[in-house]
Every structure is written in C-alpha cells, then in structure tokens.
Amino acid sequence: PAGSRASEVDYLIIGAGVCGLYQLHQLLELGADVRVVDANSGLGGTWFMNRYPGCRFDSESYTYQYSFSPELLQEWSWKEKFSPQPETLSYLEHVAERFDLERHITFEARVASATWSEDEWRWHVGFEDGTVIRARFVLCAMGLLSVPTYPRVAGRGSFRGLETHTFDWPEDYDVTGKRVAVIGTGASGVQVITDVADKVESMVVLQRDANWCSPLGNAPISEDEMADLRSRYDEIFAWCRDTPAGFIHRPDRVLSTDVSREERLRHWEDLYANGQGASLYMGNYRDCIMEWGPNQELSEFVASKIRQRVADPEVAEMLIPKDHGFGTKRVAGESGFYEVFNQDNVELVDLMAHPILEITETGVRLDAGDGQVRDLELDVICYATGFDAVTGPFDRIDVTGVDGLKLKDHWRDGPLTTLGVQVSGFPNMFVLVGPQSGSATANFPRGIEDVVNWMTQTAAYIDEHRIGRFEGRPEAELQWLEHVREVNSLLLLSKTRSWFNGHNINLDRDESPRVMVYLGGAPRYRKILAEEAEQGYPSFVLSPVDELAAA
Ligand code: NA7
C-alpha cells in the first residue's frame, strides 16, 4: 500500500526527484524489489521544493525530459522553451502516474542515519521518526542542491515579516505591493528578482559578488514547433549525448583566435541577441571557457552589454563581475534582469561595502559606513543564497560504514569516490547523484540517465552473479581523484570560487578548493562507466552472497 514502510527491501532509493524516479522505473522494469523514500510530502525533489516566483529551467525544456519512453515523449507537450517550475512538476507527476510509480514511494520519510552491518551485508537505514528499513543496497539520489544555506548574520529568524530561502518560498504568498529584500544574485536570485520587480512596492537587492548572466531567450512553444520537436527526438537526444554537458549546445571546434576580432564580435552579438539558454558559454569558441585571454575578451563583450542595458553607470559597474570571467562559474539565464535596475522602485546594494549587521524584527540593518547604520524596513526577506552543494545532502545523514567509519570523516578533506558512484568503506551504497559524478554537471536528466542506466545494468549483474557485497577499492578512489583533477583543470570553471569547487558552507573563502564535480564531459564519463561494467568491475571488490552464508 502507498506509504508503507516494509522493513526489508533489496534496493532503497533515497530521493524521489528526477533521478530517483527514473531509477525506480528502471529497477521495476528489471523486476527488482525496490522502494523510494523521500523527506518531502510529494515527488519532484528540486521541482517540488523550489516554488519561488520566476523559478524555471535554464535548460531547453525538450532536452530536460526523460528519453526512455517514446510514448511518453509523444504525449507530452512543453508550453515554453524554458519550462517554469509548475509545469515541470506537472511533468514529473505525469511520469509517476503514467508508470504507476507512486505506490513504491514513501513520503515524509527523512533519512537520519544509515549503518552498514558487516554481519548481514545490509544497510540499516534509520528515519527521523525512529523506524528502520534494512536494505541490501542503498542508492543515493538526494540531489545536488537540496540543503539551503543562509548568511551567518545575527538576528536571523527574528524578522516579523516573511523571511524565507528561495528553496522554501511559500507558493501562495502574494508579493504585490510588498517591500522586499533579496540577498544573493545567483541563478535563483536572478529569477526571483526579475519576476517580482514590477509587482512589489520596493525591492532592495543585496549583492555580495556580481554574477554573469546570459539572455535566456524564453518564448512559448507553438503546436507546430512541438510537432516538429516530437518528430526529431531521436536526433535531438543523440546530439545531446555527444555534447560535453548533455545540452543542445556544443562548444565550437573553432578557437576564438582562429577568426578576426570583427568576426568574433559579430558571432557574440548574434549569440547575445538570438542565442538561447547556455549558447553563449556552452556553444561558443571553446577557448573562451579554457583560456584566460579569450575569456577576458568575451567577458568584456558581455560587460559592454550590461553597460548598454543599465541606465546608471555606477549600478552597471556593480553588476559586472570583477572577480571572475564569463562562464567560469554557473551562468544564470536572464530575461530582463538588467532592466529591473532601471526601475525607480529597485535599489542595488553592494554588501562588500555595506555588510549586513543584523536581521531585525522589521527588516535588515546595514552598515552605512562612517559608523552609521541603515535600517531597511521590509515585508519580505528572501535569501537566494544558494546551497550546501553536492555533499550537503550526505552530511545531513549519519552514514557509518565498515568498522564504524563515518562518511563525514572519510570526506573530511574533500570527497573521495570510486568513479563518482561509490565510496570505499561503504559497500553496497551507490551514489547516483553526488560528488565527482558525471551526473552532477550535465543537463540533469541527461547526466542521470547515464548513471541510472549503468546502475540498472549493474543491478542485473548483481542478480545474475548473486553478488552480496559490492565495494569500491581505495586505490581506485585515489586514481579517480587524480583523473578528475586532471580533466577539471582544463576548464576555467575549476579555478573560481563557486559551489563547483566546494566554496560553499564547507569552506572559508580562503581555503583550497575541493574536487566536487566531474568536468570531463558526459561522453567520456559514460565510456568510463561502460568499460568498468564490460571488464567485470575492476575498480570494485565483488563478493558472492554465498560467502556471507559460509562465514
Ligand atoms: P548560487 O548560484 O550558489 O548563488 C548564491 C548567491 O547568494 C550568490 O550571489 C552568492 O554570492 C550569494 N550569497 C551566498 N552567501 C551569501 C552571504 N552569506 N551573504 C550574501 N550573499 C551570499 O545559488 P542559486 O540558488 O542562485 O543557484 C544554485 C543553482 O541552482 C545554480 O547553479 C543552478 O544550477 C540552479 P557570491 O557570488 O558567493 O558572492
């Protein structure tokens, strides 16, 4: 029955988001004994939680969907090129209904602990309500960005109005006529700021570092366009499979230095005016995201666009990132973000010059300089301050492996994984979404399909060969770390302060980076995983069930 919590299962998937749902479907197809648990009261993960105004894809909608079912592809219609959150959540609910997935999911079940039993070759998964499920295999699909972070400022929680993270935004809250402060200008901040600007009485945007944005190019999808997309899905997914990040955009083989400056600028003008989604940074000359020189020239081009769009030159300068080049951190998609700052009811405050002193009952107290303070009287404080990314969802669970080893301790100096899919010392725990995995940096459904397909093939192998214990080798972990470091170093993305390199809650702003993501590209990652399976899993130690029985 729905909501049941049987105490034994072969495969326990944590998380009913985009990844967990697909893994559930694939394991059911295999005939496996599988259950999904999720802390939320409904499915959808990221798309269940993030209900802030303006929340939508930065990926083209038709590439951000499952590719496994031709029937599903033919029956679903996307309404916008970059789907808003409500439509995306409806899509995931439709998938769950279509494939009868929901009865295998237990909601409002937050995992508190997971303890490996060497005597049983089972995980004992403990929930916040005290119940325990024993599982042969635990599959982690808790998401990359599911633990929100807040500024460490005095008085947080004491505000009498609405004080919320974008992640927890109350869907039915009406901002019309309200006095709002938004802290943070990453992908989420850019969306919420743009959406509410002309509804609110006033908005103060509190910005630490500026972030680069590129025009999203959103528009409705007509029936004819949808019919054309439907007729080309095979071709579209084949194309996405071949691109480094699983997007429709592919870096140009041509280098920026192979063409004249006039041609470069013409190309960039075209991408800026007519491009879509990530085309300006993923579909550009490849050296723009690999070499500082070309990157700087592209950054100057984008900065010139900001100067054209923002009326007040001082505000324009504040909105131009000075600490990093274009595309060296996650670029936010925007639709009229810069024009917001030309509105009389919007003010931009530089937090580096005017830090937050405290949150008060009535708003935010800022350091106004010269020993003065400035009190912002508000109705809403919105933290668009990001997430304890990638490892945060693991840290929240007390994971204990072989000989009492804690995952937190194993990852103290940064994550270590076997090919991004396991952790040595934690047998039978598979990471579908987590550090150093190809799933983490791709267009999400494309990235997770690779990992889930590998996992499903591995589950079939486990069944066929009666494997009871499956554990990554420590030496393979160190080799993987070296490999990831090496491939990541080719991209400027690995050299900036962002959640890609662990510069979130884990790090002080001056500590050395961590290897959180795999930037070697989806085709390469897929090939590595395929070879691993073909060669009988040389990076792992596999023990048949009979060995446990014999012990
Ligand atoms: P991001 O991209 O991590 O952005 C967080 C923003 O919040 C960014 O502007 C940060 O400034 C700012 N921030 C973080 N901490 C603070 C504090 N303490 N004070 C002031 N400002 C702060 O998160 P998003 O939710 O926007 O996007 C996450 C992902 O979702 C994104 O990459 C997409 O894949 C979808 P900073 O630049 O660090 O100075």
pLDDT digits (tens, 9 = 90+) for 303-355: 999 999 999 999 999 999 999 999 999 999 999 999 999 999 999 999 999 99
Give the DSSP H or E segment for 182: strand 179-183
Q: How much is the average pLDDT of 469-492?
A: 97
User: Rounded distance, CA 57 to CA 284, Å?
Assistant: 20
| Residue 438, ligand 1, Cβ within 6 A | no
By DSSP bridging, strand 363-369 and strand 356-359 are antiparallel
Asked if residue 300 has pLDDT above 70, the reply is: yes
| Residue 85, ligand 1, Cβ within 6 A | no
Asked if residue 143 has pLDDT above 50, the reply is: yes
User: Rounded distance, CA 67 to CA 350, Å?
Assistant: 44
Q: How much is the average pLDDT of 365-379?
A: 97
Report the percentage of the chain scoring pLDDT > 90: 93
Q: Which atom of ligand 1 is nearest to the CA of 351?
A: 20
List, for residues 178-235, the tens digit of each pLDDT value.
999 999 999 999 999 999 999 999 999 999 999 999 999 999 999 999 999 999 999 9
Residue nearest to atom 33 of ligand 1 (CA): 187
**For residue 1, what pLDDT is reported?**
34
| Residue 184, ligand 1, Cβ within 6 A | yes
Residue nearest to atom 10 of ligand 1 (CA): 184
User: Rounded distance, CA 140 to CA 14, Å?
Assistant: 5
- Band (pLDDT 50/70/90 cuts) for residue 6 is low
Q: To the nearest whole number, what is the mean pLDDT of the chain? A: 95
- Band (pLDDT 50/70/90 cuts) for residue 508 is low
Give CA angle at 177 (174, 178), nearest 5°: 75
**For residue 262, what pLDDT is reported?**
97
Q: Which atom of ligand 1 is nearest to the CA of 152?
A: 18
- Band (pLDDT 50/70/90 cuts) for residue 371 is very high
Are 23 and 450 in contact, with CB atoms under 8 Å apart? no
**For residue 503, what pLDDT is reported?**
77
List, for residues 514-549, the tens digit of each pLDDT value.
899 999 999 999 999 999 999 999 999 999 999 998
Asked if residue 103 has pLDDT above 70, the reply is: yes
Residue nearest to atom 27 of ligand 1 (CA): 187
Q: Tell me if ipTM is over 0.95.
A: yes
Q: How far is the CA of 343 from the centre of ligand 1 (A)?
A: 23
**For residue 2, what pLDDT is reported?**
40
Q: Which atom of ligand 1 is nearest to the CA of 190?
A: 26
Q: Which of 216, 354, 353, 235 is nearest to 275 (CA)?
A: 216
| Residue 204, ligand 1, Cβ within 6 A | no
Residue nearest to atom 17 of ligand 1 (CA): 151
Q: How crowded is residue 265: how many other Cβ atoms within 10 Å of its Cβ? A: 14
Q: How far is the CA of 174 from the centre of ligand 1 (A)?
A: 24
Are 330 and 185 in contact, with CB atoms under 8 Å apart? no
Could you write out the DSSP letters of every residue in 102-141?
GGGEE-S--EEEEEEETTTTEEEEEETTS-EEEEEEEEE-
| Residue 165, ligand 1, Cβ within 6 A | no
User: Rounded distance, CA 142 to CA 139, Å?
Assistant: 9
**For residue 4, what pLDDT is reported?**
53
**For residue 549, what pLDDT is reported?**
80
DSSP class of residue 256 equals G
**For residue 223, what pLDDT is reported?**
96
Are 149 and 396 in contact, with CB atoms under 8 Å apart? no
Are 13 and 37 in contact, with CB atoms under 8 Å apart? yes
Are 34 and 99 in contact, with CB atoms under 8 Å apart? no
Q: How far is the CA of 417 from the centre of ligand 1 (A)?
A: 26
b/e burial code for range 486-518 (CB count within 10 A of at least 16 → b):
ebbeebbbbebbbbbbbbbbbeeeeeebbbbbb
| Residue 180, ligand 1, Cβ within 6 A | no
| Residue 351, ligand 1, Cβ within 6 A | yes
Asked if residue 53 has pLDDT above 50, the reply is: yes
| Residue 50, ligand 1, Cβ within 6 A | no
Residue nearest to atom 29 of ligand 1 (CA): 187
User: Rounded distance, CA 458 to CA 478, Å?
Assistant: 22
| Residue 354, ligand 1, Cβ within 6 A | no
| Residue 330, ligand 1, Cβ within 6 A | yes
- Band (pLDDT 50/70/90 cuts) for residue 510 is low
Whole-angstrom distance between the N-terminal and C-terminal Cα of the chain?
36
Q: Which atom of ligand 1 is nearest to the CA of 166?
A: 25
Give the DSSP H or E segment for 548: helix 545-550
Radius of gyration for the chain, computed over Cα atoms and rounded to the nearest angstrom: 24
Q: How far is the CA of 386 from the centre of ligand 1 (A)?
A: 4
**For residue 3, what pLDDT is reported?**
47
User: Is the backbone of residue 3 left (phi > 0), alpha (psi -120 to 50) or beta?
Assistant: left
List, for residues 433-465, the tens digit of each pLDDT value.
999 999 888 899 999 999 999 999 999 999 999
Task: Give the three-state DSSP class for 278.
Answer: coil
User: Rounded distance, CA 178 to CA 194, Å?
Assistant: 15
Give 85: exposed, middle or buried? Use CB within 10 Å, 0-12, 13-18, 19+. Answer: buried
| Residue 225, ligand 1, Cβ within 6 A | no
**For residue 90, what pLDDT is reported?**
98
| Residue 106, ligand 1, Cβ within 6 A | no
Q: How much is the average pLDDT of 4-24?
A: 92
| Residue 185, ligand 1, Cβ within 6 A | yes
| Residue 497, ligand 1, Cβ within 6 A | no
| Residue 211, ligand 1, Cβ within 6 A | yes
Asked if residue 77 has pLDDT above 60, the reply is: yes
Q: How far is the CA of 184 from the centre of ligand 1 (A)?
A: 5
| Residue 46, ligand 1, Cβ within 6 A | no
**For residue 459, what pLDDT is reported?**
98
Q: Which atom of ligand 1 is nearest to the CA of 151?
A: 18
Are 245 and 239 in contact, with CB atoms under 8 Å apart? no
**Residue from 18, 64, 188 to probe ligand 1 pocket by mutation (most atoms less than 8 Å from CB):** 188
Asked if residue 506 has pLDDT above 70, the reply is: no
Report the percentage of the chain scoring pLDDT > 70: 97
- Band (pLDDT 50/70/90 cuts) for residue 513 is confident
**For residue 505, what pLDDT is reported?**
58
Three-state secondary structure readout of 310-333: CCCHHHHHHHCCCCCCCCCCCCEE
Tokens of 56: 């939508």
**Residue from 149, 350, 356, 385 to probe ligand 1 pocket by mutation (most atoms less than 8 Å from CB):** 385
Are 240 and 446 in contact, with CB atoms under 8 Å apart? yes
**Residue from 144, 185, 208, 324 to probe ligand 1 pocket by mutation (most atoms less than 8 Å from CB):** 208
| Residue type for position 443 | N
